[in-house]
Amino acid sequence: MNIENLNLDEILQEIENAKSKEEIERIKNKYLSKKGIFLSIFASFASLTKEEKVSIGARINKMKMSVEDKLKQKELSQFYEEINQRIENEKIDISLPSRKQKLGAKNPFQLVVDDITEFFLNMGYKVADGPEVELDHFNFELLNTPKDHPARDMQDSFFINQNTLLRSHTSAVQAHVMQDAKGQVPIKIICPGKVYRRDNDATHSHQFGQVEGLVIDKNISMGNLMETLTLLLRHLFGKNREVRFRPSYFPFTEPSVEVDVSCFNCNGKGCSLCKDTGWIEILGSGMVHPNVLRLNNFDDKKYQGFAFGIGIDRIAMLKYGIDDIKGIYTNNVEFLEQFAKEGE
Ligand code: PHE
């Protein structure tokens, strides 16, 4: 190879035109490897004069350096081109709209539990808990309802064996709380929970919810009971509601009352919701029976108490106009979605 045949501009152009790594590699080999053009020119130096060696050598070295620089440059730009190409190919299309996530809603049952619980927490009550599979002893006997007591018929219960049943009311938790307190006052609790009875129609289910309430202390009177429940019912159904207390019977309270609220649908005039009576029956209540205090190690001469039991499902049905209790338990999404706003 003769130096006169080499044209730097052409070589640089050749490098510039290379389209791939492989091509760059090939050009590198062609000019710069041991068998490459530049070294082969040096190899032919033997026949040159000293002066020629110096001047041609310098020219060749300069040319070789330019070729090396250009190759480096080309390699670098090739590298960036490749990376940009990869970034382009792996691009994710973020313009695709995401799937809509539906926000869950609280079951109306839970809305009522939360509402009543908050109401009583604000009045200084604590929340108690108890088992759903319960001993007869707690469900009935400690509540002044011995075996063969006719009042047991008021609650058609699911017995597992002679001494064990699915609790038929949250009043069983009263007995647990009193036993645990070992005669110490004050007691001020509520207990929301599930209860079970053999019932099945549009407004009754074999499983439903109650919130129990129990207060025991010195100087507790019927006035405290009436004030507490009046405030509760006005909180639930509106501040202009009238509240009515009717004599009733429960074995664990004496006196016992059934508590009604004036119909919020017709304002007491009479409509289909209140069956033309103007009143809606809401809950059972009463002063804790002295026998219950004694059975649970409280001094009935020193202390008094009141208790109440509210049906959660009934309140939910009344408040939200639900006409079949099964809606609360079947988890139909369309039914539940209607309550999304309530829980906000
Ligand atoms: N346990 C009663 C029922 O389920 C309700 C109640 C509770 C009544 C507390 C009086 C006192 O019917």
Please state, in angstroms and rounded to a whole number, the distance separating the CA atoms of residues 165 and 137: 10
Confidence of residue 99 (pLDDT cuts 50, 70, 90): confident
Residue 2 has pLDDT above 90, yes or no: no
Q: Give the torsion through C-alpha atoms of 143, 329, 190, 308, to 10 deg.
A: -50
Of 92-101, 114-123, 221-230, 328-337, which range is least confident? 92-101
Q: Are residues 24 and 165 in the same domain?
A: no
Q: What is the DSSP string of 87-121?
A: HHHT---TTSPPPPPPPP---HHHHHHHHHHHHHH
Q: Is residue 103 situated within a structural domain?
A: no
Percentage of the residues of the chain whose pLDDT score is greater than 90: 74
pLDDT of residue 228: 98
User: What average pLDDT does the segment 69-95 reach?
Assistant: 92
Q: Which residue owns the Cα nearest ligand 1 atom 2?
A: 309
- Distance (angstroms) between ligand 1 centre and the Cα of 299 equals 22
Percentage of the residues of the chain whose pLDDT score is greater than 70: 99
Q: Is residue 144 situated within a structural domain?
A: yes
Q: Is residue 97 situated within a structural domain?
A: no
Q: Which protein residues touch ligand 1 with a CB less than 6 Å away?
A: 169, 171, 250, 253, 284-286, 307-309
pLDDT of residue 331: 87
pLDDT of residue 39: 87
Q: Are residues 137 and 76 in the same domain?
A: no
Q: Are residues 28 and 123 in the same domain?
A: no
3-class secondary structure, 339:
coil
Give the sign of the dihedral formed by CA 147, CA 150, CA 153, CA 154.
negative
Please state, in angstroms and rounded to a whole number, the distance separating the CA atoms of residues 208 and 16: 83
**What angle (nearest 5°) sits at the alpha carbon of residue 176, between those of residues 147 and 107?**
100
pLDDT of residue 343: 55
pLDDT by residue (tens digit) across 130-146? Answer: 999 999 999 999 999 99
pLDDT of residue 283: 97
Give the mutation target among 214, 220, 250 for probing the ligand 1 site: most ligand atoms within 8 A of CB: 250
Q: Are residues 182 and 282 in the same domain?
A: yes
pLDDT of residue 344: 56
Q: Which residue owns the Cα nearest ligand 1 atom 10?
A: 285
pLDDT by residue (tens digit) across 22-67? Answer: 999 999 999 999 988 988 888 888 888 888 888 888 888 899 999 9
Q: Which residue owns the Cα nearest ligand 1 atom 4?
A: 169
Q: Are residues 295 and 148 in the same domain?
A: yes
- Distance (angstroms) between ligand 1 centre and the Cα of 250 equals 7
Query: How many distinct structural domains can be found in the chain?
Result: 2
Q: Are residues 189 and 300 in the same domain?
A: yes
Which of 53, 88, 123 represents a domain boundary (last residue)?
88
Of 110-114, 199-203, 265-269, give the range with the top mean pLDDT.
Answer: 110-114
Give the atom of ligand 1 at the shortest distance from the alpha carbon of 309.
7
Q: Are residues 76 and 210 in the same domain?
A: no
Q: Is residue 123 situated within a structural domain?
A: yes
pLDDT by residue (tens digit) across 270-324? Answer: 999 899 999 999 999 999 999 999 999 999 999 999 999 999 999 999 999 998 9
Q: Which residue owns the Cα nearest ligand 1 atom 5?
A: 309
Distances (CA, A) of 30 to 94, 174, 197, 267: 46, 98, 96, 103
Q: Are residues 134 and 211 in the same domain?
A: yes
CATH number at residue 220: 3.30.930.10
Go through 239-261 and write b for each residue having 16 or more CB atoms within 10 A of its CB, e for each that does not: eebebbbeeeebbbbeebbbbbb
3-class secondary structure, 65:
helix
Supply the pTM of this predicted model: 0.73
Which of 88, 116, 132 represents a domain boundary (last residue)?
88
Q: What is the DSSP letter of 238?
A: -
- With residue 344 as reference, give the H or E element that holds it: none
pLDDT of residue 340: 83
Q: Which residues pair with 201 in a beta bridge?
A: 204
Q: Is residue 100 situated within a structural domain?
A: no
Please state, in angstroms and rounded to a whole number, the distance separating the CA atoms of residues 108 and 324: 13
Give the atom of ligand 1 at the shortest distance from the alpha carbon of 214.
9
Given the DSSP bridges, would you call strands 187-196 and 126-127 parallel, antiparallel or unpaired?
A: parallel
- The first and second tokens of residue 43, run together, are 């190899």
**7: containing domain:** 3-88
Q: Is residue 102 situated within a structural domain?
A: no
**Summary mean pLDDT of the chain:** 93
